[in-house]
């Protein structure tokens, strides 16, 4: 390839593998058919709203963003304000002012005289808001001004941390549902925030379609890679796609990262075919580019004692079998820890390390819940668990055999090949 050809191909690859940006084109969105159906069905039912919840990095925002495109393909045209991000500075009133700033409609008026001509003026809903703190009924009243169906996506809803603001949001959902307002809210957040939202206003449960976003299956992750390869005209050796899916541990964010850097490494080597060595280089580049999470990783494993086991125990935690919510028992760490150390390790050998990971001095990197003898652990940041695997693989501390033996976090489908 000539230099311009390589640069052009790299640009195409970067448009197809997008680890830093949620997918917003339906043709690049792989898998999730069940969740897509649930959201679409709720969107087309008057008085119903959606809450998408799951771990960080599972693709919640991507799914929410493609819904509007899918509905348009099916012939349903909704006024879409785009995705509105809730942040820690927001309260109920400021959040809805951001939303209404993005929503507008066209008002037609008769021109003076007898010409019969009409003038059209685009009016922002923001102009209808009272000059005071907004209340749930202000939202209902303002949305009725649209006179058409609309779709409102509120991302990072868990950032709305005030109990008072969460109560108002729950009351808004009930108000919109009771009055059959032609507006569908899609709330995107983590599972804990959903439970809190519903607990503040039990009566909204009937108005909410709860759509859990589990980690993606191996086949769904492979679909992401296939779409990137197809769109760029590249190919991959047997096993490359499956290996990227295994390393990603069910999180599409890492599939995009590894796919991006593996493909770019191949192009740098003047190839359009990705080989296993490109995946190894991609793990190194992924670790290098993940500055914040890498800093948290080193904080968790650092110790003044040279012969400490923090890195090994954390690796075993990343390989441990979990339930669907990501929790694992200390006993689940026993098998991977023994494999890592190549001799039998029982819970007392590493229980102190598990509890240390839950303390501020090491992040904390794990959260523990439950009563004594029934304690369960979970990575606080879901993105950390695959990072540990990718990091240790990149520096040759995690063998192919050990990764294959691990239960892993990638959701398994009946026909998964991994």
Q: Are residues 205 and 82 part of one domain?
A: yes
Domain enclosing residue 233, as ranges: 3-17+217-289
The gap from C-alpha 8 to its chain's centroid, in whole angstroms, comes to 29
Q: Are residues 309 and 276 part of one domain?
A: no
For a pLDDT cut of 70, what percent of the chain falls above it? 85
Instruction: Work out whether strand 376-379 and strand 328-329 pair parallel, antiparallel, or are unpaired.
Output: antiparallel
Q: Are residues 329 and 301 part of one domain?
A: yes
Q: Are residues 319 and 261 part of one domain?
A: no
DSSP annotation of 84: E
**What would the pLDDT profile of 245-303 be if each residue is shown by its tens digit?**
999 999 989 999 999 999 999 999 999 999 999 999 999 999 999 999 999 999 999 98
**CA–CA gap between residue 21 and residue 361 (Å, rounded):** 32
Domain boundary among 213, 245, 260: 213
What's 316's domain CATH number?
Answer: 1.10.10.10
- What is the number of H-type helices and E-type strands within the chain? 17, 12
26 occurs within a structural domain: no
Which of 8-12, 43-47, 71-75, 410-414 has the highest average model confidence (pLDDT)?
Answer: 8-12
Q: Are residues 165 and 88 part of one domain?
A: yes
Number of domains in the chain: 3
The gap from C-alpha 314 to its chain's centroid, in whole angstroms, comes to 23
Q: Could you give phi then psi for residue 103, rounded to 5 degrees?
A: -105, 135
DSSP annotation of 197: H
Closest CA relative to residue 317, chosen from 300, 298, 299, 336 = 336
Mean pLDDT of 139-154: 86
């Amino acid at each position: 390839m000539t230099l311009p050809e390589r640069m052009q191909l790299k640009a195409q690859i970067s448009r197809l593998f997008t680890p830093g940006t949620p997918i917003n084109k339906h043709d690049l969105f792989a898998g999730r058919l069940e969740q897509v159906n649930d959201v679409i069905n709720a969107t087309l039912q008057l008085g119903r709203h959606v809450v998408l919840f799951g771990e960080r990095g599972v693709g919640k925002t991507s799914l929410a963003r493609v819904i509007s495109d899918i509905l348009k393909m099916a012939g349903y045209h909704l006024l879409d304000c785009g995705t509105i991000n809730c942040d820690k500075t927001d309260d109920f009133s400021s959040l809805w002012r951001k939303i209404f700033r993005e929503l507008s409609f066209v008002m037609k008026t008769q021109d003076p005289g007898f010409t019969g001509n009409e003038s059209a003026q685009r009016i922002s809903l923001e102009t209808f808001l009272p000059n005071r703190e907004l209340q749930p009924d202000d939202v209902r009243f303002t949305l009725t001004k649209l006179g058409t169906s609309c779709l409102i996506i509120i991302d990072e809803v868990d950032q709305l941390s005030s109990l008072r603001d969460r109560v108002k949001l729950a009351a808004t959902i009930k108000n919109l549902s009771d009055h059959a307002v032609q507006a569908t809210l899609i709330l995107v957040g983590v599972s804990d925030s959903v439970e809190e939202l519903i607990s503040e206003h039990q009566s909204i449960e009937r108005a909410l379609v709860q759509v859990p976003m589990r980690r993606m299956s191996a086949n769904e992750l492979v679909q992401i890679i296939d779409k990137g390869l197809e769109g760029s005209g590249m190919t991959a050796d047997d096993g490359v796609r499956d290996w990227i899916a295994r390393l990603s541990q069910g999180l599409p964010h890492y599939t995009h990262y590894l796919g991006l850097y593996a493909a770019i490494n191949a192009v740098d080597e003047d190839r359009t075919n990705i080989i296993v060595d490109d995946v190894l280089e991609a793990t190194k580049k992924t670790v290098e580019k993940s500055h914040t999470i890498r800093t948290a990783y080193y904080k968790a494993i650092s110790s003044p004692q040279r012969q400490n086991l923090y890195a090994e125990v954390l690796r075993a935690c990343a390989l441990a079998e979990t339930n669907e919510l990501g929790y694992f028992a200390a006993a689940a760490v026993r098998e991977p820890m023994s494999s890592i150390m190549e001799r039998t390790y029982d819970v007392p050998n590493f229980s102190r390390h598990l509890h240390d990971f839950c303390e501020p001095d090491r992040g904390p990197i794990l959260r523990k819940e439950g009563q004594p003898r029934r304690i369960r652990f979970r990575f606080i940041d879901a993105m950390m668990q695959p990072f540990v695997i990718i990091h240790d693989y990149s520096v040759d501390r995690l063998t192919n055999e050990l990764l294959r033996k691990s239960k892993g976090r990638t959701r398994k489908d009946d026909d998964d090949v991994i």
